[in-house]
Structure 1
Amino acid sequence: MKLMIIFLAVLLDWLLGDPYSWPHPIKWMGNYIMLCLKIQEKWPIPAYIFGTLLAVSTVGLSVATVSLALWGAGLISPILYWLVWLYVAYACLATRSLAFEAKKVYQSLVHGSLEEARSQVGMIVGRETKDLSFEEISKATVETVAENTSDGVVGPLLCLFIGGPVLAIGYKAINTLDSMVGYKTKKYHQIGFVSAKLDDLVNLIPARVTWLSLMVASHILQLDAKSALQIGFRDRYQHASPNSAFSEAVVAGALGIQLGGGHVYHGEWVEKPTIGEQKRETVAEDIEKTVSLMYMATTICLLVAAVIYLSLGVF
């Protein structure tokens, strides 16, 4: 039953994405984190202590809420239990929403204006976008889709196979914390320290599974698979995070472009190493190719995980 529900959750994610008007656990997490940050501004406590409490409470409340919802649904009806299981599983996956947001940037670059493209990319990246060029916007979008293939899709998918929606929602809570406070800036360095370290830890396996999946995907999609392997191996640690460069390096190699480099985050310049070799300029079409790589890598992970689960006799 669980395997069928996971496949159905992936299908729903691909068909529906995350409509803006629908309730969503990640929105609730974000609202809670913002509320806590406002409270911290009014009644400040030591940043490291606050950051630890923020991380523990966000993950704890998320896991407890889903656990309670599943338990209550199970008391009422097995069908309701699996419907709640399905909804949370679907909500933890972000393939269609990532593709949708990336394609909005693509459309702005191709058919709109530079200002429109800057505004659209600003919705999905943490860096400041007001001075980005067409190429920098394309790079930023490619980087975001590549990195989020791991923590937005493959990571929660693996969690669903291993521990169901409870583990997946805990994983998403850590990712959300990292995306909101896990910056190495003066404002967030201490507050986001625990969240960033937790994110590094929980993404160790997903990043490497995504790395392998993207290499296979680059071959299937007839991109530069040889370079994807070479650059993917050479530049997999070219990032402050022990995980982020894994997927970006493969994508950079497969497309023959250079990613990474320093950017402004929350008014502060943050230096970052480059990833890949700039054989040509990054263009808008690279966004579409990266989205295709994401879908193919997700399919590979889903099928391989299903085969492993079946071979272990889990179902």
Structure 2
Amino acid sequence: MTSIWIIPASLLLDLGLGDPQGSPHPVRLIGKFARYMEKVTRKYIVSEKIAGIMTAFSVYSISFIFPWIIIFIFRYIHPFLAELASAFIIYTSIALKDLLDHSKDVYSALCEKDLDKARFMVARIVGRDTENLEEPEIVRAGLESVGESLVDGITAPLFFAAIGGPSLAMLYRSINTLDSLFGYKNQAYLNFGWISARMDDLANYIPARLTAPILCISSAILGFYPLRSFKILIRDGRKHPSPNSGLCEAALAGALKIQLGGRNYYSGVPSDKPKLGDPDRKLVPNLILDANKIIFLTSIFSSGLFLCLGLAAQLLYGKFFQS
């Protein structure tokens, strides 16, 4: 069970420390283990789909079990050590500070009128081609990354941490990592990555639908356009091919009265994404800071809601086993 202070402590650790670059980060270890399992299963299993399933569930199992073992050992030594370890593990599963910092780097480069630097900075957070992007498209890329990463990098791991502790948070992080590694609809991963993509859709389903309305509320508190945010969420949120990715992007587009989506290029190949929102305002650099304010407040409110849900689950769990 997760103590009430652990989720806020994890958020504070993330805001204070960010992504620990100089140490073996659990998410990077998950990625390395996934690549190793991919080589093993592809070598010995003929069916790509079965190889992908074996890889995925091997990674999911290890990602869940290791934090559980660590917490168990620390709890045996002292319960408070177990809570400290829990806070640290959950902290490594979220990336609020990194998301804000990377988008601010894009904003700063645009303010310096250095498009080459801005293209380089935005390339760190998006997968599309960036070498020919002009200022509005750089802004759009940054905003779309922020909107999409809100769930993947912040609220979804917090949701699972609140209801299931550090093991469930790290299990979610492994699901998201495998989707980013294998969830491509190309010849190499269409079959192998099938389960990774489906599991990511499933894991994000509830967090995305809880987070998007909270984003609308946050935009109201910050003085943006909450009614437009909710309208665009309802109207455009399900246009995206992913069942989850478009929800917060649409809510953010409405809150800022802008339009996201359109044509991107990946390795020179055009890809048309659905347009979310209306182009009432031009895409200018200051929108990145506005989006960051909304993302930050949404993260705080979401963590509070999820903590309440987690406490309710604990109460129900306790009553169930006492009856």
Cα distance between partner residues in 2 of 1:115 and 1:186: 32
How far does residue 79 in structure 1 lie from its aligned partner after superposition?
A: 2.7
Aligned length: 315
Map of 1:126 onto structure 2 = 127
- Tell me whether 35-44 or 48-57 shows the greater mean CA deviation: 35-44
Read off the aligned partner of 1:118 and give its amino acid letter. R
C-alpha change, 1:43 and 1:131, in structure 2 (3 Å) is farther
Map of 1:240 onto structure 2 = 241
The two structures have a TM-score, normalised by structure 2, of 0.90
Read off the aligned partner of 1:74 and give its amino acid letter. R
Read off the aligned partner of 2:80 and give its amino acid letter. I
Map of 1:218 onto structure 2 = 219
Map of 1:96 onto structure 2 = 97
CA contact (8 A) 2:231 2:254 kept: yes
CA contact (8 A) 1:17 1:97 kept: yes
C-alpha change, 1:269 and 1:61, in structure 2 (3 Å) is farther
| Post-superposition CA distance 1:181-207 (Å, at most 9, x none) | 212233332222111110110111100
How far does residue 268 in structure 1 lie from its aligned partner after superposition?
A: 4.0
Superposed counterparts of 1:281-300, under 5 Å: 281-300=282-301
Map of 2:155 onto structure 1 = 154
How far does residue 262 in structure 1 lie from its aligned partner after superposition?
A: 3.5
Superposed counterparts of 1:13-52, under 5 Å: 13-37=14-38, 45-52=46-53
Cα distance between partner residues in 1 of 2:51 and 2:308: 43
Map of 2:321 onto structure 1 = none
- Tell me whether 197-206 or 182-191 shows the greater mean CA deviation: 182-191
How far does residue 70 in structure 1 lie from its aligned partner after superposition?
A: 1.4
SS in 2 for 1:271: strand
C-alpha change, 1:54 and 1:270, in structure 2 (3 Å) is farther
Cα distance between partner residues in 2 of 1:38 and 1:107: 41
Map of 2:80 onto structure 1 = 79
CA-based RMSD of the aligned residues comes to: 2.2
Map of 2:108 onto structure 1 = 107
SS in 1 for 2:62: helix
Identity rate of aligned residues, in percent?
A: 36
**Pairing 1:190–2:181 present:** no
CA contact (8 A) 1:260 1:273 kept: yes
How far does residue 243 in structure 1 lie from its aligned partner after superposition?
A: 0.5
How far does residue 147 in structure 1 lie from its aligned partner after superposition?
A: 1.2
How far does residue 37 in structure 1 lie from its aligned partner after superposition?
A: 4.8
SS in 2 for 1:104: helix
Cα distance between partner residues in 2 of 1:119 and 1:261: 21
Cα distance between partner residues in 1 of 2:285 and 2:230: 23
The two structures have a TM-score, normalised by structure 1, of 0.92
C-alpha change, 1:232 and 1:128, in structure 2 (3 Å) is same
